[in-house]
């Protein structure tokens, strides 16, 4: 292992078996627009072969000097479906992902899929994914039928993630409140994804959830989903709300400032943000030991992301942490 090792940690795939089964299922009514778009992406060129063909992906990785990819099921995964369908579908996807990881040692790792709509079963799957299948974390695609992880119903899932030291990658999806985003293409990656994932992260912080689960490890893509830009104001306004009774929206009394939770519990990835100025802000927010390289393949270009990291104005230590050391520590690679 050298300090030039390069690991990308938000890299999506699917399987023929998943597509055959999931595309035949009905989904929650609020998810139908997103699911229809996702199924089109998963059924058409060029994205379908890019999600399915691991040999082609390895060829791209080799050509770009990327050593390893941490694979996860294409979002929104199993979360749009009822528990009776989602739970066995998640197990089967995880079994297939574990086989891929075993067949490609050192090249692929895996983030397991779970069904938050069945929290007890999700907790059991977290334990199985880590201790039986050898996967490295879980991916949650933000809300599940409009519900968020700070709600009490999801306590078994969060308890299991903390107890088994399984990192939770909080990935974006179309916002649960779709109507304001529906026009002008705002529901997707151009704006809605970051707004949704950032909202979810803020709910976990401001609800006091991370006081109950202080050892929970959460990963946010896209260099923090916009939160670093706002964090000084978030801290300022939280302090104001605590100091001036009745002058602001009531908030929970937290053990730490919001910014301290982001520095303690969160790690950011570079996925889809090849901008040295945004990287600099993220470095100032959480430090290079809380930032990991990611491409967001196949939705972003691997070569472009690799060139960005190579050219970024970083010290040797910063570059090594972002390229592989932080991922090795967070995900146990």
Query: What is the spatial distance between Cα 51 and Cα 43, in angstroms, rounded to a whole number?
Result: 10
Which 3 state secondary structure label does DSSP give 13? strand
User: How many Cβ atoms are within 10 Å of 253's Cβ, its own excluded?
Assistant: 8
Determine contact, residues 7/67, Cβ cutoff 8 Å.
yes
The candidate with the shortest Cα–Cα distance to 168, out of 137, 147, 141, is 137
The candidate with the shortest Cα–Cα distance to 112, out of 131, 98, 132, is 98
Burial annotation 71-106 (CB, 10 A radius, 16+ → b, else e): bbbbbbbbbbbbeebbbebbbbbbebbbebbeeeee
- Hey, which residues does 213 pair with through a beta bridge? none
Task: Map tokens 């490890």 to a residue.
Answer: 217
Q: Measured between alpha carbons, how far is residue 324 from residues 54, 223, 276, 290 in Å?
A: 21, 16, 18, 11
Residue 233: Cβ-neighbour burial (10 angstroms; 0-12, 13-18, 19+): exposed
Catalytic residue from among 85, 274, 288, 296: 296
The candidate with the shortest Cα–Cα distance to 44, out of 23, 71, 21, 17, is 23
Backbone angles phi, psi at 21, to 5 degrees: -80, -50
Q: At what angle do helices 227-243 and 276-286 cross, to 10 degrees?
A: 40
Backbone angles phi, psi at 292, to 5 degrees: -130, 150
Alpha helices in 83-191 (DSSP H): 83-103, 119-131, 155-163, 179-182
Task: Map tokens 């940690």 to a residue.
Answer: 9
- Is 296 part of the annotated catalytic residue set? yes
| Residues carrying an active site annotation | 296
């Amino acid at each position: 292992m050298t300090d030039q090792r390069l690991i990308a940690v938000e890299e999506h795939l699917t399987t023929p078996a998943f597509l055959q089964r999931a595309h035949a299922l009905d989904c929650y009514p609020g998810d139908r627009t997103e699911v229809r778009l996702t199924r089109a992406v998963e059924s058409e060129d060029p994205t379908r072969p890019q999600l399915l063909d691991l040999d082609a992906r390895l060829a791209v990785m080799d050509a770009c000097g990327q050593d390893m990819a941490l694979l996860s099921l294409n979002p929104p995964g199993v979360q749009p479906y009822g528990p009776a369908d989602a739970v066995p579908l998640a197990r089967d996807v995880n079994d297939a992902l574990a086989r891929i990881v075993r067949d490609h040692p050192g090249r692929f790792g895996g983030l397991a899929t779970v069904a938050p709509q069945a929290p007890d079963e999700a907790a059991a799957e977290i334990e199985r994914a880590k201790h039986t299948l050898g996967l490295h974390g879980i991916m949650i695609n933000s809300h599940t039928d409009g519900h968020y992880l700070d709600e009490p119903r999801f306590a078994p899932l969060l308890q299991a993630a903390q107890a088994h030291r399984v990192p939770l990658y909080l990935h974006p999806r179309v916002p649960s409140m779709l109507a304001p985003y529906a026009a002008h293409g705002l529901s997707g990656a151009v704006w809605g994804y970051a707004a949704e994932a950032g909202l979810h992260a803020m709910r976990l912080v401001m609800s006091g959830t991370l006081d109950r689960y202080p050892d929970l490890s959460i990963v946010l893509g896209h260099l923090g989903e916009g939160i670093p830009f706002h964090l000084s104001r978030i801290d300022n306004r939280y302090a104001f709300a605590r100091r001036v009774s009745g002058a602001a929206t009531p908030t929970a009394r937290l053990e730490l400032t919001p910014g301290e939770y982001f520095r303690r519990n969160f790690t950011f990835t570079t996925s889809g943000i090849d901008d040295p100025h945004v990287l600099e802000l993220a470095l100032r927010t959480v430090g290079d030991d809380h930032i990991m390289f990611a491409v967001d393949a196949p939705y972003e270009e691997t070569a472009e992301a690799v060139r960005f990291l190579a050219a970024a104005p970083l010290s040797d230590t910063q570059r090594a942490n972002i390229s592989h050391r932080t991922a090795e520590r967070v995900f146990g690679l």
